[in-house]
A and B are shown apart, each in its own frame.
Chain A
Amino acid sequence: MIRLSGTKHLLGHRLWIKDFPEPVSQIQTSYLIVGGGISGLSAARQLTKRGISDFVLVEMEGHLGGNSSNGENQYSKYPLGAHYLPLPNFQDKELLNFLEEEKIILSYDTKGFPVFDELQLTFAPDERLFYKNSWQEGVVPKEGNSKAEEEELVAFFKLMDTFRAGKGQDGKYLFDIPLYLSSTDENSRSLDKITMKEWFVKNNFTSEPLFNYIDYCCKDDFGLGIEYVSAWAGIHYFAGRKQDVTSDKIESVLTWPEGNARLTSHLKRYSKDKALKNHLVYELKIENNKVIAKTFDDHKKTTVAIVADKVIMATPQFVNQYILKERKQYAKEFHYAPWLLATLVVSDLGDNFSFPLSWDNVIYGAKGLGYVYDQHQSLNQVQSKKVITYYYSFSGPDLKKTRKEIHKKKTDYWKQMVFDDLKMAHPDIESVTEEMNVFVLGHGMISPVPGFIFGEAKKQASKSIENRVYFAHTDLSGISIFEEAFHQGVNVVNQILDETTLDS
């Protein structure tokens, strides 16, 4: 059985023509948050933390979470987007506090390091790679490389270690999370002007396994491959995470069967009874020191005017350009990679007696990014059926064109694409698959092409309007990761409240 679904692009696309009815009712609130993804939910949490309870959050979809959402079948929950959170940097106290509040960090040890809940850290074995016809441990191609290839891998990781530890003259890390904390050092920032591939060539790297590995990593975090992504972003993938939060384990991640929807479920507690789902804001205007948001209720098919003192736009810029005036010139500089996720229920998954099924399973040379075993964090001894989620990012030079083509394709096309890609490692995948759920995200995530992260468009788009309308979204960070969204939410609230304090 095959099913195809995706984000509500048909409703979203009505923003182009705005064939919505005029408002018939009104809601008054101090703060309006537009968008129920992690940025918006984090803003709601921060408002609550700072003692503010008079706010409303609106979300176009029927559920909260944005890219941190999930699905569920009779065997397991599974992610419909982001599915893990790497261990935060030790200096990221804000995030560590959140994790402690939610009992993901259970305590701090005598040396001051956080103790993470064993059940929420990825169980071993965490990663494997199908390389040279068998599975091997880890996602870096290891067994079967030539000596020269081996040396390049070593040299590359050594270089990344240097970048990770590196600081600029301002005393800040060259690469940090959240990204705005990174140094303004000119040398490292100039890396944003070239692609990761150009950097690869410039540094005299030639090995194919290394090239493919970096390409995989770039697609995994940015949706764009090595040829199209900014070198600064590419290196940030390796150097941004300081791996300094525990004394023993340096590269673990936190994960759940439903992926980051678990974090959503923690965050959405703060907007309980304050969230309007299936609501689409289609126009925003400032009038008489108030912001009026015309909001279409997709269930009742009526429009409500939400009148707020201040508005937080926790929506991506490709949406904002239709809601607010004069934002198209910024939005056209923002590129979003489409993604496809396919969750399969399989009766069996052979591993030809090499390395056993792991949490993350990558196939070297495949088009997609491999698959995640969704029941990996289960404590059970046996599973009657296995549930896996396959990830595919549409990397390419013209994402807009790609997106148009995607929406023309039919279910069977995707089914075959997923099977063909998985067949490299699982020749019998078609016959063991009992169910497949394909989920397409037209705008999967912000993709940092060269010049974007430190460019003008992003800077301008981040600026608030008349101290009434504020912006928070990962596309304003430049990379789409949980940490950025979380801090976008926290920071926008702090900015609003601290400005107000200054004003009065």
Chain B
Amino acid sequence: MGKKFIKFEFLLLFAVFIIATCGLVYELVAGTLASYLLGDSVKQFSFIIGVYLFSMGIGSFFSKFFNKNLLNTFVEIEILVGLIGGLSSVVLFLLFESVASFQFILYLLVFVTGFLVGLEIPLLMNILKDKVEFKDLVSNVFTFDYIGALLASILFPLILVPKLGIMGTSLFFGMINISIAIVLCFILKSELKRSYFLKAKAIFSFLLLLTVFIFSESILSYSEGKLYGENIIYTNSTPYQRIVLTHNKSDYRLYLNNNLQFSSADEYRYHEALVHPVMSIAKKIDRVLVLGGGDGLAVREILKYKDVKAITLVDLDQGMTKLFKTNKVLTDFNQNSLNNSKVTVINTDAYIWAKSCKVKYDVVIIDFPDPSNYSLGKLYSLNFYQTIQNIIQPDAAVVVQTTSPYFAPKSFWCINKTVMAVFPQVDAYHAYVPSFGEWGFTIAINGFNTTFNTVNRKVSGLKFYNYQFDRFNYFTGDMISNEIEINRLDNQILVRYFDEEWGKLQ
């Protein structure tokens, strides 16, 4: 009898140890996730520890209302803690984007876990109180409780998160938690009532966690999709950027390094505004040069003009142009423009390429990413536009994607002023693209034999641009900025403006 009892006590104390370890792991998981998703780690950790300890207190308080079937209740709670704690990180990951009251759910989960763990210790002491000396009981239970806590807090940052990830860690400990319940069910089956029922419950819960654990990788990528708020249908990391294509109802969106490149619902506005003014204004359109624009959408618009003899597209990223030549969804968007026989795609650095280019173009369409760093800033410099001027015909027309005049008026007019220092005729215009906001362009003519209001040619069937340029070049006061400098390689003032203006918004 004595021997058997020692085993019984030891088993339950081991359970305390595991409960303490798991409990703290859940708490750390919640804290880490909260600071990961919400930021401000000091605040998140502080609140979560507070709420967790408080709810343990509540749990302890309520333990006195359990009087019957204590051992059964203990095992039940063990299963429940494992299930809730184990799944907490998965639930939080999945709900982050779609639930407005994310914080409420976060603290609710912390509260419930804390409450259940809080119940367990007093419950256990009640089970053992008649069998062990009270002094020994208190001392043993708390010893194991605190050792468990130490173990968890050491393992968590050093081994668990690096090896298993946050989601894996919580699921793994959920399984350990439930394993204890299963072990208890088997060993103490004589002392338990309806132990088969408990056994079934425990095993089912264990299998559930195991399944989620196995699929946690794909859940994680699904939740990345949730971060975008849309379904990710394609991702690819090229040496230059991360390309993500998402799909939501009838809308496809392309993100480059998490910046929206286009939305299929309204990209026609952007690309019509980008392409058709220069195409109608230029004296000739035999040779058209596109810099950037690897999605082929601008080329699609250019190809509407049958007089165009050759289009050269220079884009740094082969991964990008290849994708838009081969992917069925994407070639539907650009109408297979990049595979058109008039189109030559060159994957190289546009600046370097332009420096050595010997051909003279009639139209140049410059569609680079916004000048968000010093590398990209070079592509908006005075010297760059001088380089462009060297490779165009007299009276050629040039258009430059010029970021948003509403969000970044200084940046917008800085580019405009820089272009103005090079070309004889320069103007600016803008268009509203719902997914971007108010967007702007700088346009230039390399001569005086045509004007911005001249329409040398037009195509029919456009949805947005109506060839009335003077409807697009009026800027309201909130899109104007004065006293700006020309962007040069040796000052890169544009990158500073851009950082100042867009930095404000983030």
Q: A interface vs B, CB < 8 Å?
A: 118-119, 121-126, 249, 252, 356, 379-382
Chain B residue nearest in CB terms to A381: B375
How far apart sit A124 and B383, CA to CA, in the bound complex (Å)? Answer: 14
How far apart sit A356 and B378, CA to CA, in the bound complex (Å)? Answer: 15
Contact string, B127-149, partner A, CB cutoff 8 A, digits 1/0? 00000000000000000000000
Contact of A122 (CB < 8 Å), options: B316, B351, B352, B490? B490
Known: A118-B381, A118-B382, A118-B383. A382 touches B491 (CB 8 A): no
Contact of A123 (CB < 8 Å), options: B373, B489, B493? B489
Contact of B489 (CB < 8 Å), options: A124, A356, A381, A382? A124
How far apart sit A125 and B496, CA to CA, in the bound complex (Å)? Answer: 10
**CB of B374 closer than 8 Å to a CB of A:** yes
Known: A118-B382, A123-B378, A124-B374. A380 touches B489 (CB 8 A): no
Contact of B373 (CB < 8 Å), options: A121, A126, A252, A356? A356
Check if A380 sits within 8 Å of B492, measured CB to CB. no
Check if B492 sits within 8 Å of A125, measured CB to CB. yes
Instruction: Point out the residues of chain B lying under 8 angstroms from A122, CB to CB.
Output: 490
Q: Give chain B interface residues in 448-506, CB to chain A under 8 Å.
A: 488-493, 495
Check if A381 sits within 8 Å of B492, measured CB to CB. no
**CB of B240 closer than 8 Å to a CB of A:** yes
Check if B490 sits within 8 Å of A356, measured CB to CB. no
How far apart sit A356 and B489, CA to CA, in the bound complex (Å)? Answer: 15
Q: A121-B490, A356-B374, A382-B240 are in contact. List 6 more A-B contacts (CB 8 A).
A: A119-B383, A124-B491, A249-B491, A379-B355, A380-B352, A382-B375
**CB of B357 closer than 8 Å to a CB of A:** no
**CB of B187 closer than 8 Å to a CB of A:** no
Closest Cβ of chain B to A417, distance in Å, is 31
How far apart sit A224 and B45, CA to CA, in the bound complex (Å)? Answer: 52
Check if B352 sits within 8 Å of A119, measured CB to CB. no
Q: Would you give 7 A-B contacts (Cβ < 8 Å), ordered by A?
A: A118-B489, A121-B490, A123-B378, A126-B490, A379-B355, A379-B378, A381-B375
Closest Cβ of chain A to B422, distance in Å, is 12
Chain A residue nearest in CB terms to B488: A118
Q: Chain B interface secondary structure, helix, strand, loop or mixed? A: helix
Closest Cβ of chain A to B506, distance in Å, is 14
Check if B351 sits within 8 Å of A119, measured CB to CB. no
Contact string, B375-404, partner A, CB cutoff 8 A, digits 1/0? 111110111000000000000000000000
Instruction: Point out the residues of chain B lying under 8 angstroms from A126, CB to CB.
Output: 490
Check if B349 sits within 8 Å of A121, measured CB to CB. no
Instruction: Point out the residues of chain A lying under 8 angstroms from B383, CB to CB.
Output: 118-119
Instruction: Point out the residues of chain B lying under 8 angstroms from A381, CB to CB.
Output: 240, 316, 349, 351, 375-376, 378-379
Closest Cβ of chain B to A3, distance in Å, is 29
Q: Chain A interface secondary structure, helix, strand, loop or mixed? A: loop
Chain B residue nearest in CB terms to A376: B374
How far apart sit A118 and B422, CA to CA, in the bound complex (Å)? Answer: 14
Closest Cβ of chain B to A419, distance in Å, is 27
Chain A residue nearest in CB terms to B377: A124
Instruction: Point out the residues of chain A lying under 8 angstroms from B351, CB to CB.
Output: 379-381
How far apart sit A119 and B387, CA to CA, in the bound complex (Å)? Answer: 11
Contact of B349 (CB < 8 Å), options: A118, A123, A124, A379? A379
Check if A380 sits within 8 Å of B349, measured CB to CB. yes
Check if B355 sits within 8 Å of A124, measured CB to CB. no
Closest Cβ of chain B to A354, distance in Å, is 13
How far apart sit A490 and B373, CA to CA, in the bound complex (Å)? Answer: 43
How far apart sit A252 and B373, CA to CA, in the bound complex (Å)? Answer: 21
Q: B interface vs A, CB < 8 Å?
A: 239-240, 316, 349, 351-352, 355, 373-379, 381-383, 488-493, 495
Instruction: Point out the residues of chain A lying under 8 angstroms from B316, CB to CB.
Output: 381-382
Check if B349 sits within 8 Å of A119, measured CB to CB. no
Chain B residue nearest in CB terms to A379: B351
Closest Cβ of chain B to A488, distance in Å, is 29
Instruction: Point out the residues of chain B lying under 8 angstroms from A379, CB to CB.
Output: 349, 351-352, 355, 378
Instruction: List 10 tightest A-B contacts by C-beta distance, closest first.
Output: A124-B492, A121-B490, A379-B351, A118-B383, A123-B489, A118-B489, A381-B375, A380-B349, A124-B491, A118-B488
How far apart sit A118 and B355, CA to CA, in the bound complex (Å)? Answer: 14
Closest Cβ of chain B to A42, distance in Å, is 26
Closest Cβ of chain B to A257, distance in Å, is 14
Instruction: Point out the residues of chain A lying under 8 angstroms from B349, CB to CB.
Output: 379-382
Chain A residue nearest in CB terms to B316: A381
How far apart sit A249 and B349, CA to CA, in the bound complex (Å)? Answer: 29
How far apart sit A41 and B495, CA to CA, in the bound complex (Å)? Answer: 40
Instruction: Point out the residues of chain A lying under 8 angstroms from B491, CB to CB.
Output: 124, 249
How far apart sit A122 and B374, CA to CA, in the bound complex (Å)? Answer: 13
How far apart sit A379 and B492, CA to CA, in the bound complex (Å)? Answer: 13
How far apart sit A133 and B52, CA to CA, in the bound complex (Å)? Answer: 36
How far apart sit A339 and B355, CA to CA, in the bound complex (Å)? Answer: 37
Closest Cβ of chain B to A138, distance in Å, is 14
Instruction: Point out the residues of chain B lying under 8 angstroms from A124, CB to CB.
Output: 374, 377, 489-493, 495
How far apart sit A379 and B355, CA to CA, in the bound complex (Å)? Answer: 10
Chain A residue nearest in CB terms to B382: A118
Closest Cβ of chain A to B160, distance in Å, is 25
Instruction: Point out the residues of chain A lying under 8 angstroms from B377, CB to CB.
Output: 124
Most interface-central of A118, A121, A123, A381 (chain B CB within 10 A): A381
Chain A residue nearest in CB terms to B375: A381
How far apart sit A124 and B381, CA to CA, in the bound complex (Å)? Answer: 11
How far apart sit A501 and B239, CA to CA, in the bound complex (Å)? Answer: 66
Check if B376 sits within 8 Å of A249, measured CB to CB. no
How far apart sit A308 and B241, CA to CA, in the bound complex (Å)? Answer: 64
Closest Cβ of chain B to A173, distance in Å, is 26
Most interface-central of A118, A121, A126, A356 (chain B CB within 10 A): A118
Chain A residue nearest in CB terms to B387: A379
Instruction: Point out the residues of chain B lying under 8 angstroms from A121, CB to CB.
Output: 488-490
How far apart sit A382 and B488, CA to CA, in the bound complex (Å)? Answer: 19
Closest Cβ of chain B to A121, distance in Å, is 4
Closest Cβ of chain A to B85, distance in Å, is 35
Closest Cβ of chain A to B374, distance in Å, is 6
Check if B490 sits within 8 Å of A249, measured CB to CB. yes
How far apart sit A122 and B489, CA to CA, in the bound complex (Å)? Answer: 8
Chain A residue nearest in CB terms to B381: A118
Instruction: Point out the residues of chain A lying under 8 angstroms from B375, CB to CB.
Output: 381-382
How far apart sit A252 and B488, CA to CA, in the bound complex (Å)? Answer: 13
Instruction: Point out the residues of chain A lying under 8 angstroms from B489, CB to CB.
Output: 118-119, 121, 123-124
Closest Cβ of chain A to B222, distance in Å, is 29
How far apart sit A382 and B318, CA to CA, in the bound complex (Å)? Answer: 14
Chain B residue nearest in CB terms to A252: B490
Closest Cβ of chain A to B257, distance in Å, is 13
How far apart sit A125 and B352, CA to CA, in the bound complex (Å)? Answer: 20
Closest Cβ of chain A to B297, distance in Å, is 21
Instruction: Point out the residues of chain A lying under 8 angstroms from B373, CB to CB.
Output: 356
How far apart sit A379 and B495, CA to CA, in the bound complex (Å)? Answer: 16
How far apart sit A125 and B376, CA to CA, in the bound complex (Å)? Answer: 13
Closest Cβ of chain A to B300, distance in Å, is 25
How far apart sit A356 and B375, CA to CA, in the bound complex (Å)? Answer: 11
Closest Cβ of chain A to B356, distance in Å, is 11
How far apart sit A382 and B350, CA to CA, in the bound complex (Å)? Answer: 12
Contact of B492 (CB < 8 Å), options: A119, A123, A249, A382? A123
Closest Cβ of chain B to A478, distance in Å, is 31
Instruction: Point out the residues of chain B lying under 8 angstroms from A249, CB to CB.
Output: 490-491
Instruction: Point out the residues of chain A lying under 8 angstroms from B378, CB to CB.
Output: 123, 379, 381
Closest Cβ of chain A to B187, distance in Å, is 52
How far apart sit A201 and B239, CA to CA, in the bound complex (Å)? Answer: 54
How far apart sit A356 and B379, CA to CA, in the bound complex (Å)? Answer: 18
Contact of B374 (CB < 8 Å), options: A118, A125, A252, A380? A125
Chain B residue nearest in CB terms to A123: B489
Check if A118 sits within 8 Å of B490, measured CB to CB. yes
Instruction: Point out the residues of chain B lying under 8 angstroms from A119, CB to CB.
Output: 383, 489
Instruction: Point out the residues of chain A lying under 8 angstroms from B493, CB to CB.
Output: 124
How far apart sit A249 and B488, CA to CA, in the bound complex (Å)? Answer: 11
How far apart sit A72 and B352, CA to CA, in the bound complex (Å)? Answer: 20
How far apart sit A123 and B377, CA to CA, in the bound complex (Å)? Answer: 11
How far apart sit A122 and B375, CA to CA, in the bound complex (Å)? Answer: 14
Instruction: Point out the residues of chain B lying under 8 angstroms from A356, CB to CB.
Output: 373-374
Closest Cβ of chain B to A250, distance in Å, is 12
